[in-house]
Amino acid sequence: RVTLGKKYINIINMKKTLFLMLALLLAVGGMAQEKKAKKEKTYNEKGEIIKKGWNFGPLPVVGYDADLGFQYGVTCDIFNFGDGSRYPRYNYKFNVEASRYTKGSGVFRFYSDMPYVVKDTKLFFDVTYFYAKKYEFFGFNGYEANPFDPNVFEAMWNETTVKSGYHFINRNQFRFVGSMQRPFFGVPNLNWTAGLAYYNTKVDRINLEGYEGQKTLYEDYVNAGVIKKDEAQGGNTTQIRLGLIYDSRDHNSDPTKGIYTEATLVGAPDLIDRKGYSNLSYTFLWRHYIPVYRDKLTFAYRLGAQNRLAGKTPWYMINNLNTMFFQKMYTEGLGGSTTLRGVNRNGVIGEGFAFANLELRWRIIGFQFINQNWQVGLNPFFDAGMVTQKFREEEMHTIASDPISGGFGYPLYDVEGKEELHMAAGCGLKLIMNRNLVVSVDLGKALDKRDGKKLKTFVGFNYIF
Give the pLDDT confidence score for residue 3 in this predicted structure.
46
Confidence of residue 13 (pLDDT cuts 50, 70, 90): low
* DSSP3 helix / strand / coil % (the chain, rounded to 5): 15, 50, 40
**Residue 147 per-residue DSSP state:** -
Residue 149, pLDDT above cutoff 90: no
In tens, the pLDDT along 266-317 reads: 999 999 999 999 999 999 999 999 999 999 999 999 999 999 999 999 999 9
Give the pLDDT confidence score for residue 222 in this predicted structure.
94
Confidence of residue 37 (pLDDT cuts 50, 70, 90): very low
Amino acid at 317: M
Residue 17, pLDDT above cutoff 80: no
Section 246-267 average pLDDT: 96
Confidence of residue 24 (pLDDT cuts 50, 70, 90): low
Give the pLDDT confidence score for residue 404 in this predicted structure.
46
Q: What percent of the chain has pLDDT over 90?
A: 65
In tens, the pLDDT along 40-62 reads: 678 888 778 888 899 887 878 88
Catalogue the E-assigned strands of 232-313: 234-247, 258-268, 279-293, 297-311
Section 65-80 average pLDDT: 87
Give the pLDDT confidence score for residue 20 in this predicted structure.
53
Give the pLDDT confidence score for residue 406 in this predicted structure.
46
Give the pLDDT confidence score for residue 21 in this predicted structure.
54
CB 322 within 8 A of CB 239: yes
What one-character-per-residue DSSP string does 17-50 give? HHHHHHHHHHHHHHHHHHTT--SPP-B-TTSPBP
**Which has the minimum average pLDDT: 156-165, 193-202, 341-350, 405-414?**
405-414
Cα–Cα distance for residue pair 49/54, rounded to 1 Å: 14
Burial of 409: CB neighbours in 10 Å, binned 0-12, 13-18, 19+: exposed
**Which has the minimum average pLDDT: 8-22, 41-55, 77-91?**
8-22
Going by C-alpha positions, the residue among 254, 341, 246 that lies closest to residue 289 is 254
Give the pLDDT confidence score for residue 194 in this predicted structure.
99
Confidence of residue 381 (pLDDT cuts 50, 70, 90): very high
Give the pLDDT confidence score for residue 157 in this predicted structure.
77
In tens, the pLDDT along 432-462 reads: 998 888 999 999 999 999 999 999 999 888 9
Give the pLDDT confidence score for residue 60 in this predicted structure.
84
Cα-to-chain-centroid distance, residue 167: 20
Task: Report which listed range, 37-51, 225-239, 399-413, is most confident.
Answer: 225-239
Cα–Cα distance for residue pair 387/138, rounded to 1 Å: 13
Give the pLDDT confidence score for residue 238 in this predicted structure.
98
**Residue 290 per-residue DSSP state:** E
Residue 28, pLDDT above cutoff 80: no
The distance between the two most distant Cα atoms of the chain, rounded to a whole number of Å, is: 79
**Which has the minimum average pLDDT: 82-86, 325-329, 373-377, 408-412?**
408-412
CA triple 292-295-299, angle to 5 deg: 40
Domains annotated for the chain, with CATH where assigned, are 2-461 (2.40.160.50)
Q: How many CB atoms sit inside 10 A of residue 385's CB?
A: 25
**Residue 360 per-residue DSSP state:** E
Give the pLDDT confidence score for residue 379 in this predicted structure.
98
Cα–Cα distance for residue pair 193/130, rounded to 1 Å: 26
Cα–Cα distance for residue pair 331/169, rounded to 1 Å: 18
CB 261 within 8 A of CB 286: yes
Residue 396, helix vs strand vs coil? helix
Residue 234 vs residue 326, higher pLDDT: 234
Cα–Cα distance for residue pair 83/81, rounded to 1 Å: 6
Residue 8, pLDDT above cutoff 80: no
Burial of 274: CB neighbours in 10 Å, binned 0-12, 13-18, 19+: exposed
Section 375-391 average pLDDT: 98
Give the pLDDT confidence score for residue 66 in this predicted structure.
78
| Summary mean pLDDT of the chain | 88
Cross-strand bridge partners of residue 92: 80
Confidence of residue 408 (pLDDT cuts 50, 70, 90): low
Output phi, psi for 26, to 5 deg.
-60, -45
Section 180-196 average pLDDT: 97
Residue 409 vs residue 47, higher pLDDT: 47
Cα–Cα distance for residue pair 239/267, rounded to 1 Å: 6
Q: How far is CA 140 from CA 218, 259, 386, 397, in A?
A: 11, 33, 12, 12
Cα–Cα distance for residue pair 405/424, rounded to 1 Å: 38
Give the pLDDT confidence score for residue 399 in this predicted structure.
75
Confidence of residue 403 (pLDDT cuts 50, 70, 90): low
Cα-to-chain-centroid distance, residue 51: 29
In tens, the pLDDT along 102-134 reads: 988 999 999 999 999 899 999 999 999 999 999
